[in-house]
């Protein structure tokens, strides 16, 4: 008995998602990342600084920024968000409130939001994909927060990501512009990241080195005790 092949079709949205993930190195490569360490420089209107960030699956994060000889630290161990502000003293303090909630949410997105988005309970819609223009995907997370992702029409890598934040009834548009992609261990990584608020540039990070799958101890992310 002959077995007929059943043609499967992808929606335009999932086709774009698949192209994006393939451009970044492929689903299996991305799923295989257990930790990331980045080092680089931060440039803003007020200062120049160096930055080192560690992230570890599923949602641990630590960031150290050195400016004017002083080191600021932010960490999250999966439960507690904490910070060391050298202007306030050497001790670590727990961070609470809306900023802490946003940081916890961001730490929870260890992977690209598009990777396994259905399993995460996210919704992705194709907003537009005009000839020659940047394909525009809109991600709605489980908590209702919306993130707009604009892809390079030639490479399908992320060009720009925007999120609207409601701050006391005033809407703030936070943007991330990603450029200068380079291959690292078979994955494409943006080495220049510019942050904007309502279209105004706030700062730019230029990575000098990106390392994947280093062994990172859990204690690195825990709040130091007095």
129 and 159 in a single domain? The answer is yes
> Does any domain span residue 215?
no
Number of domains in the chain: 2
145 and 90 in a single domain? The answer is no
18 and 91 in a single domain? The answer is no
pLDDT for the residue numbered 209: 98
71 and 16 in a single domain? The answer is no
> Does any domain span residue 123?
yes
pLDDT for the residue numbered 6: 41
87 and 184 in a single domain? The answer is no
pTM of the model: 0.88
20 and 66 in a single domain? The answer is no
> Does any domain span residue 2?
no
The boundaries of the domain holding residue 85 are 34-96
18 and 119 in a single domain? The answer is yes
Q: Are 76 and 103 in contact (CB under 8 A)?
A: yes
Which residue in 65, 44, 40 sits closest to 201, CA to CA? Answer: 44
Q: Are 18 and 25 in contact (CB under 8 A)?
A: no
201 and 116 in a single domain? The answer is yes
Cis geometry, peptide bond prior to residue 20 (ω within 30 degrees of 0): no
> Does any domain span residue 223?
no
pLDDT for the residue numbered 2: 43
pLDDT for the residue numbered 1: 39
| pLDDT per residue as tens, the chain (226 positions) | 344 444 457 899 999 999 999 999 999 999 999 999 999 999 987 889 999 999 999 999 999 999 999 999 999 998 899 999 998 888 999 998 877 777 777 766 789 999 999 999 999 999 976 777 899 999 999 888 899 999 999 999 999 999 988 877 889 999 999 999 999 999 999 999 999 999 999 999 999 999 999 999 999 999 998 7
> Does any domain span residue 73?
yes
pLDDT for 117-151, tens place per residue?
Answer: 999 999 999 997 677 789 999 999 988 889 999 99
120 and 203 in a single domain? The answer is yes
Of 52, 73, 96, the residue that ends a domain is 96
Helices (H) and strands (E) in the chain, counts: 3, 13
> Does any domain span residue 202?
yes
Q: Are 151 and 20 in contact (CB under 8 A)?
A: yes
> Does any domain span residue 213?
no
125 and 139 in a single domain? The answer is yes
Distance CA 24, CA 214 (A): 20
């Amino acid at each position: 008995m002959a077995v007929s092949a059943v043609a499967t079709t992808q929606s335009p949205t999932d086709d774009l998602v698949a192209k994006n993930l393939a451009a970044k190195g492929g689903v299996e490569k991305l799923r295989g990342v257990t930790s990331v360490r980045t080092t680089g420089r931060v440039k803003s209107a007020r200062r120049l600084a160096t930055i080192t960030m560690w992230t570890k699956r599923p949602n641990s994060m630590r960031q150290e920024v050195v400016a004017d000889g002083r080191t600021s630290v932010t960490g999250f161990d999966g439960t507690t968000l904490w910070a060391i502000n050298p202007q306030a003293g050497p001790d670590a303090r727990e961070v609470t409130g809306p900023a802490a909630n946003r940081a916890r949410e961001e730490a929870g997105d260890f992977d690209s939001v598009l990777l396994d988005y259905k399993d995460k309970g996210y919704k992705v819609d194709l907003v537009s994909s005009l000839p020659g223009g940047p394909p525009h995907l809109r991600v709605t997370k489980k908590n209702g927060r919306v993130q707009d992702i604009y892809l390079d029409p030639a490479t399908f890598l992320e060009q720009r990501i925007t999120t609207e934040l409601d701050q006391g009834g005033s809407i703030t548009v936070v943007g991330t512009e990603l450029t200068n992609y380079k291959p690292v261990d078979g994955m494409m990584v943006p080495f220049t990241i510019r942050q904007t608020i309502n279209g105004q540039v706030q700062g730019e990070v230029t990575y000098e080195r990106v390392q994947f799958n280093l062994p990172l101890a859990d204690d690195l992310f825990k709040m130091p005790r007095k």
